[in-house]
Structure 1
């Protein structure tokens, strides 16, 4: 079932709903408040089938393959390309790219360093339509919170636009913005604010 994320943009996953009041009041305050999207399985089972298959469905795909096998291969490709990542274990293996796409203050323009990272991800993703990239935009605390929310969405959408231009499928890309509410670094310093102006990228598998 799709999880509902508090901050909804025009390019968020289908199923987002707007909460009453000021959206900024319900903005996520920690990383645990911004879970990775989950994806509906179009195949529906009866209660009896669910009871007999739950134990194995968590580990295997429709043909009995281990669910993490393909993601392990992706990890190997990323390593070969020099992309640093962190593996997040759960119901499925999720790959969090450690290198961030950073931006100048008040800007949403990609740098050559950013496009270099994105090109590496494209080389992996272009042949794997079963994978998705989740793009999470963030800002520092400089300026108005509402403008920062819009800017975070612009940043994630700019990454999405570049990936679409370079032949990735729209169904593989999910962009979100979290404004200034999830800093990685101290906003009291110039380097800290630079660190917080970013798009974080996560790879997960959406089709088995």
Structure 2
């Protein structure tokens, strides 16, 4: 109740004094309130401002709260230098999904020539990293039976895995999964769309 009376009295004083003297009037009447006023959202969430935990600034945070590591810095530098687009997946871990896809010819589990070079370059880079896991997702278009496409998507993922292992990426850092025709990236009604769907997607998980 006392605080309410102060607020009402302060409002009246401001109206009478005019806008030009608001700052001076406020600082004279309630200096202790200005000194302890919340300076950030964190302060508002923690009314015991003096006892609020001190946040470390030794590391730079990512957009989803992840903290940068040496492996993340090196990976990001490599992707930028190679012109490989990527997106950061929200979550507790640093997960980077490459927008560049690995493509295949119809009915084939062999990496298409247009994808082979950059995949081998990526494999060479990953072989020198100790803190990056690779998740390989295989996909197909809707040509053929569902059973055939399920098997083919697994084979495509395994084909990429063999390429990585052949460049000395540790086997235990690689995970594969086939999705068949169930997660198309493009329409299956055109030849261009089908070619788009014959793909492997890579997600890189960076240890913190």
With the length of structure 1 as denominator, give the TM-score of the two structures: 0.65
Counterpart position of 2:5: none
Q: Partners of 2:165 and 2:205 in 1: how far apart? A: 18
Contact 1:133/1:201 (8 A) holds in 2: yes
Secondary structure at the residue paired with 2:188?
Answer: coil
Superposed displacement of residue 123, structure 1: 2.9
Number of equivalenced pairs: 146
Counterpart position of 1:106: 107
Considering only CA atoms, is the larger Rg found in Structure 1 or Structure 2?
Answer: 2
Superposed displacement of residue 112, structure 1: 2.5
Contact 1:134/1:173 (8 A) holds in 2: yes
Superposed displacement of residue 81, structure 1: 1.7
Secondary structure at the residue paired with 1:135?
Answer: strand
CA-to-aligned-CA distance 1:25-54 (integer Å, 9 cap, x gap): xxxxxxxxxxxxxxxxxxxxxxxxxxxxxx
Q: Partners of 2:74 and 2:157 in 1: how far apart? A: 26
Q: Partners of 1:171 and 1:151 in 2: how far apart? A: 23
The question of 1:68 aligning with 2:68 is answered: yes
Aligned pairs (5 A) from 1:25-36: none
Superposed displacement of residue 76, structure 1: 1.5
Structure 1 unaligned blocks of 5 or more? 1-54, 61-65
Secondary structure at the residue paired with 2:164?
Answer: helix
Aligned pairs (5 A) from 1:1-208: 67-69=67-69, 70-205=71-206, 207-208=207-208
Q: Partners of 1:87 and 1:76 in 2: how far apart? A: 14
Counterpart position of 1:20: none
Q: Partners of 1:160 and 1:170 in 2: how far apart? A: 8
Q: Partners of 1:156 and 1:81 in 2: how far apart? A: 23
Contact 2:123/2:163 (8 A) holds in 1: no
Contact 2:157/2:177 (8 A) holds in 1: yes
Q: Partners of 1:198 and 1:134 in 2: how far apart? A: 14
CA-to-aligned-CA distance 1:159-204 (integer Å, 9 cap, x gap): 0011111111101111110000000000111111110000001111
Q: Partners of 1:152 and 1:176 in 2: how far apart? A: 8
Q: Partners of 1:125 and 1:109 in 2: how far apart? A: 21
